[in-house]
Amino acid sequence: MSKKVREPKTYEKAIKNWPEDDRPREKLLKKGARALSNSELLAILLRTGVNGASAIDLARKILKKFSTFRNMAHTDARDWKDLKGLGTAKVAHIQAALEIGRRFREDEASAGKQKVSSAKDIVDILMPQMRDLKTESFKVVYLDSNNRVIDIADAATGTVDHAMPIVREIIHSALQKFAASIICAHNHPSGNITPSAQDKKFTKELSDAGKLMEIKLMDHIIIGEDEHFSFADEGLMM
């Protein structure tokens, strides 16, 4: 069991006047990032507070509003307006850090050329990126002849309930990447993972186009909030 990180003590004065061991930045350098609470990590990104509130105070207000970093990652500028003391620069620092974390997860998944043996392998990679999106997004996973990930790329981004990838562009990209097979995935912002008639039609069209170019469509995965639907697992691949 991981050790619970304690929240920093409450002081009435600015952070620069706190005991050195309690200052978030100095604590990170001395003990490592894992020793810091969520509010301390946020305080480092914020750098400074405002009159009457330290960076820690601001960080606590942010966490009270959004609860988790996952919720924070799927916000826009309008969601931050009611947090007094947060200018556009501070919000930009936070959003940049969250995006770095998301890209790190992507790099981690693709850098090792992860081998795919089931729909779950793809879901483990894409679920954290796609389950909270407010609009429908379509991704393609390109695989080599040993079912190892070559690349993961966006194919389309649409509205709250519709994204229309172009079959010929997906096949063209697969040829350029020397992919032997592909897996496509898209999210349903509603959370309902039941495939629509259009999902089924698109899957057949992409599969047929792939066969002509000897590129196999291995699966089409629909991602909901915390569950998924796999055409392959349900025996719907043709």
Given this model, what pLDDT does residue 110 score? 58
Q: Please tell me the predicted confidence (pLDDT) of residue 109.
A: 60
Contact 127, 144 (CB under 8 A): no
Q: Where are the domains of the chain?
A: 15-105, 113-230
Query: What was the pLDDT predicted at 222?
Result: 96
**How far is the C-alpha of 150 from the C-alpha of 163, rounded, in Å?**
23
Let me know if the fold of 15-105 is the same as that of 113-230. Answer: no
Residue 122 has what pLDDT? 92
Task: Write down the pLDDT at residue 160.
Answer: 41
Domain 15-105: which CATH number of 2.120.10, 1.10.3210, 1.10.510, 1.10.150:
1.10.150
CA-to-CA distance for 106 and 129, rounded, in angstroms?
9
What residues in the chain have per-residue pLDDT under 50? 1, 11-12, 159-161
- What pLDDT is recorded for position 158? 56
Alpha helices in the chain (DSSP H): 24-31, 38-46, 55-66, 69-73, 88-111, 119-130, 167-176, 197-212
Write out the CATH class of domain 113-230.
Answer: alpha beta
Please give the model's pTM, rounded to 2 decimal places: 0.61
The helix or strand, by DSSP H or E, that contains position 157, with its residue range, turns out to be strand 149-157
pLDDT score, position 232: 95
> Could you give the CA distance from residue 159 to residue 102 in angstroms, rounded to a whole number?
22
